[in-house]
Amino acid sequence: MMAINLTFYGGVGEIGGNKILLEADGTRIFLDFGTSFSSEDEYFEFPLLRPSCIEDLFKTGILPKLQGLYKNAGLSVNYASDGTPSLCGDEEVCSIDGILLSHAHVDHYGYLGMLRPDIPIYLSPISRKIIELKNDIREDWQTRVNLDTLCPVEKAKDFEIESLKITRYDVDHSVLGASAFIINAGDKTIAYTGDMRFHGNAVADSEEFLSACRSAGIDTLLCEGTRLGPPSEDEKEVESHALSSESEVEQKCRDIFSNEDRLIIYDASPADMNRMRLISKVAQDFGRTLVLDSKKAYLSLYMNYPDILCPGLPATGEFKIALSRLKLNASRYGKYGLPQDLYAESYIDYRQAHEGKLLVAQ
């Protein structure tokens, strides 16, 4: 009988932060490798005090110090008497065969940037695209993934990692491209749901995964459970006012647009492209001008470039972009004869990263 070992380095008793090590027959994989917000909050304070290097995360016990998992582990910098730096030590040998990534929310992928680039990461094609775009937007040293390590797998496709036989399924979640996995390890079958819901636009995908679980006969189910269990009295009070499906959200939006002729502001994660698609559709139906901040605008445009991955997102010409004020520094921009501390709302030169690319595309 096959022995399976599961070790939870995050994701238990907290929301997200999943880092689950699965070991079977000599094969070792991680299920997600996400940021633990609750553990980070104990020692750091966003945005002023943040972990500055991987040692901060080891010392606080937020990350497990496992051999053969992290990039450059085993190496250190030595300084000669004249200050010349050189690398010394021996790089550790890789000890992890792969990572199954359920979806592109930071609490599931936010620590991938610290891992060895020779560990392949299996994910959906849409998750790969979102991670590529989020790399452009902001993600920091903990999160910035080497894109060469990403191995997109199509829906319902089988693949192998050493002795494990794995199938990836699409499931419904608030970020596009969410996956669940069924893992066969010898005579044992394990299902990993990632974050999965049954009230969004892709419920059929979640149902398909459930019926695959039924057919496969699952020995161990690893299920995300933020909202499992009966609600507390406080939660009941909140839930009595809450909307319970995406179709109710759409109806509520339409009610608001019908009854309000002044400015309407919507606030949602830039990664929630379903919400962006919905707001864009409702705004068009009501003849409203949609204005997106630069992150949402960037994701909306490039998600569908060069291939259409999310039909229905607002395209060029269907929205305007709200940019934060760009402060020009006279020492850099003195050639324009501009005074120091000038804010120039319409100045598009010298915007970096995704904003620069976005404005060129516009």
Total length of the chain = 362
Nearer to Zn ion, 105 or 128 (CB): 105
**Residue 264 identity (one-letter amino acid):** I
Nearer to Zn ion, 196 or 290 (CB): 196
Nearer to Zn ion, 28 or 105 (CB): 105
CB of 103 to Zn ion, least distance (A): 6
CB of 184 to Zn ion, least distance (A): 25
CB 99 within 8 A of CB 33: yes
Which one of 36-44, 101-109, 295-303, 323-331 is the stretch in contact with Zn ion (CB under 5 A)?
Answer: 101-109
Closest CA to 38 of 60, 7, 70: 60
Angle of helix 294-302 relative to helix 125-137, nearest 10 degrees?
Answer: 140
Q: Please tell me whether residue 224 binds Zn ion under the rule CB under 5 A.
A: no
- CA pair distance 236, 254, nearest whole angstrom: 26
Task: Using CB atoms within 10 Å of the CB of residue 317, give its burial: 0 to 12 exposed, 13 to 18 middle, 19+ buried.
Answer: exposed
Residue 37 burial (CB count, 10 A): 15
CB 268 within 8 A of CB 276: yes
Contact string 139-168 vs Zn ion (x = CB under 5 A)? ------------------------------
Nearer to Zn ion, 73 or 145 (CB): 145
- CA pair distance 95, 27, nearest whole angstrom: 9
Please, what is the Cα angle at 34 between 354 and 20, to 5 degrees?
150
Which one of 97-105, 118-126, 127-135, 211-219 is the stretch in contact with Zn ion (CB under 5 A)?
Answer: 97-105
Which one of 45-53, 151-159, 192-200, 237-245 is the stretch in contact with Zn ion (CB under 5 A)?
Answer: 192-200
Nearer to Zn ion, 34 or 314 (CB): 34
Burial 53-89 (b: 16+ CB within 10 A, else e): ebebbeeeebbeebebbbbebeeeeeeeeeeeeeeee
Determine the size of the site formed for Zn ion (CB under 5 A).
Answer: 2
Of these, 195, 205, 246, 355, which contacts Zn ion (CB under 5 A)?
A: 195
Contact string 103-142 vs Zn ion (x = CB under 5 A)? --x-------------------------------------
Which one of 89-97, 191-199, 284-292, 323-331 is the stretch in contact with Zn ion (CB under 5 A)?
Answer: 191-199
| Contacting positions for Zn ion (CB under 5 A) | 105, 195
